A = this chain, B = another copy of it.
Amino acid sequence: MSGGGAPAPARFSLNQETVRQWSLPELVAGCTAAGVGAVGLWRDPVRRFGVRETANLVAGAGLRVSTLCRGGFFTASDPAGRALALGENRRAVEEAAELGADTLVLVSGGLPAGDRDLPGARRRIVEILGELAPWAGAHGVRLGIEPLHPMFASDRCVVSTLGQALDIAEQFPADQVGVVADSYHLWWDERLPAELLRAGRGGRIASVQVADWVTPLPEGVLLGRGQLGDGSVDLRAFRELADTAGYHGPVEVELFHPGLWARDGTEVLREVIERYREHVD
C-alpha cells in the first residue's frame, strides 16, 4: 500500500457515501491531501452543512463535484405525491446548480404501496421529466437517470437496465437528460456493451460509477457493495467500455458498506485509490 505520496488518478472521483464517517470538511481535507480531484455529494449531508457553505468549501479546495445524489422518486400515482416529488426535485436541481455539479443523479422510485403496474410507474417517470427537464436546462444542470439493479425494482427504482434508462432519456434533449452507468447495477446484463455504446453515440453518459458485486447479500441488500476487486465484476472492462463509448469524465467510486464506514476514513480512501489503480484505471 502506498504511503499516499502520488496523487489519485486523474479521473478518480470519491462519492461521499463511501466515507460517510467523514464530515464535509473532513471529506474535502481528505480528498485534497490524497490528490483527489472530484467528489460525488449527497443532498442530506450537504443540506445539513448548508448548500452555499458546501459550494464554497469544495470550490475553495478546487474540487469538482461530479454528481449530486440524488433526485427522483417520481412514481407516486396520486396528484399530491406527484406535486411533492416535483417540488423536491426542483429544489434538488437548484442545489446541484449552486454546487456546480456535473449531474443530478435520479433514482426513479419503486412501485407505490399495493401497486403492481410496472409499465404505469415507468410512464409516470416520463411525465414528470417533461416538467423537470426544462427546469434543469434553465439551471444549467444535467439530470442523470440511474438504472438500479433489478433487485430494487419494487421498492426503489423501476428503471432496471441501461436500455430502459436510455429509452426514457432519449425523449428529452441530451444536455438536459442523460444516464448514470454504475457497474454494481449493470454488470450482469449481456446487453450492457451495446447499450453503453448507444448511450455514448447519443452523448447520454452523464456519469460512470463503480462498485464491485460480492455475495452473500446482506438483509435488505442495500449495504452490500463490494470494495473494488473483491467481487465478480470486471471493472477494468467496464471502464474501458465507457471509454470506448466516448466517456472521458470522472469515474466515481460509490460503495455503501458498514465495514468501510467503521474504519478510519483516510485509510479507506487510501485503500479505495489503491484498488482503483489495480482494478479500474
Contacts and interface: CB of A to CB of B under 8 A. Distances in A.
> What copy number does this chain have within its complex?
2
A21 interface: no
A215 B154 contact: yes
Interface stretch (A3-11, A53-61, A117-125, A127-135): A117-125
Interface stretch (A43-51, A92-100, A201-209, A228-236): A228-236
A70 to B, nearest CB: 19
Given A217-B217, A219-B216, A219-B218, A164 B151 contact: no
Highest count of chain B CB atoms <10 Å: which of A115, A187, A232: A232
A25 interface: no
A231 B119 contact: no
B151 A221 contact: yes
Interface residues of A, number: 32
A266 interface: no
Contacts of A190: 118-119, 122, 160-161, 164
A63 B233 CA distance: 44
A149 B220 CA distance: 16
A93 to B, nearest CB: 27
A155 interface: yes
A141 to B, nearest CB: 28
Contacts of A85: none
A216 B119 CA distance: 22
B155 A215 contact: yes
Nearest to A150: B188
Given A188-B118, A190-B122, A221-B217, A151 B149 contact: yes
Interface string A161-200: 1001000000000000000000000011110000000000
A232 B154 contact: yes
Contact of A232 (B116, B149, B187): B116
Contacts of A143: none
A111 interface: yes
A34 interface: no
Contacts of A149: 150-151
Contacts of A111: 232
Closest 8 CB pairs of A and B: A153-B188, A154-B232, A116-B234, A151-B151, A150-B188, A219-B219, A216-B220, A155-B215
16 contacts: A116-B234, A118-B190, A149-B150, A149-B151, A150-B150, A151-B151, A153-B187, A154-B188, A154-B215, A160-B190, A164-B190, A215-B220, A216-B219, A217-B221, A218-B219, A221-B221
Interface of A: 111, 115-119, 122, 149-151, 153-155, 160-161, 164, 187-190, 213, 215-221, 231-234
